[in-house]
Amino acid sequence: AQRVTQPEKLLSVFKGAPVELKCNYSYSGSPELFWYVQYSRQRLQLLLRHISRESIKGFTADLNKGETSFHLKKPFAQEEDSAMYYCAPPWSGSARQLTFGSGTQLTVLP
C-alpha cells in the first residue's frame, strides 16, 4: 500500500547538534508531502510543504526520488525544537484529506 514511514519513534540529540528526522514514502512520481509539528500542549501545525521548498524555523526537507525519502533536517537543534513531528503523505480522497505517519518524538537535550 502507498504510505509514508517514519522509522524512528523517538530521537534525542544534544543542543547545537544536527538533527534529521526520517520519512520514507512509497508513492510514485513527485508526491506532495508535508511535515507537521505538535509542540507539547499545543495544536498540530504545518511546518513544511514539499512543494513550497521553504525553510521554517531552520528546518528544511528535500524530496529525494532516488531514495524515496523526505527527511526533515536542521543543522543546529535547539531545545525549543523538542516536539512530535509527523510526516504526512499526499492528500487522498475527493476531499483531499490529510493522514499522518506514525510520528517521531524529538527531544533536544541541553
Partner 1 sequence: GAVVSQHPSWVICKSGTSVKIECRSLDFQATTMFWYRQFPKQSLMLMATSNEGSKATYEQGVEKDKFLINHASLTLSTLTVTSAHPEDSSFYICSARGPAGVTQYFGPGTRLLVL
Binding site for partner 1 (CB under 8 A): 42-46, 49, 86, 93, 95-103
Rounded to the nearest angstrom, the gap between the alpha carbon of residue 66 and the centroid of all alpha carbons in its chain is: 18
Residue among 15 and 27 whose Cβ is closer to partner 1: 27
Provide the H-helix boundaries in the chain: none
- 3-14: buried (b, 16+ CB within 10 Å) or exposed (e) per residue? ebebeeeebebe
SS3 52: helix
| Least distance to partner 1, CB of residue 49, Å | 8
| Least distance to partner 1, CB of residue 39, Å | 12
Residue among 11 and 44 whose Cβ is closer to partner 1: 44
Residue among 45 and 64 whose Cβ is closer to partner 1: 45
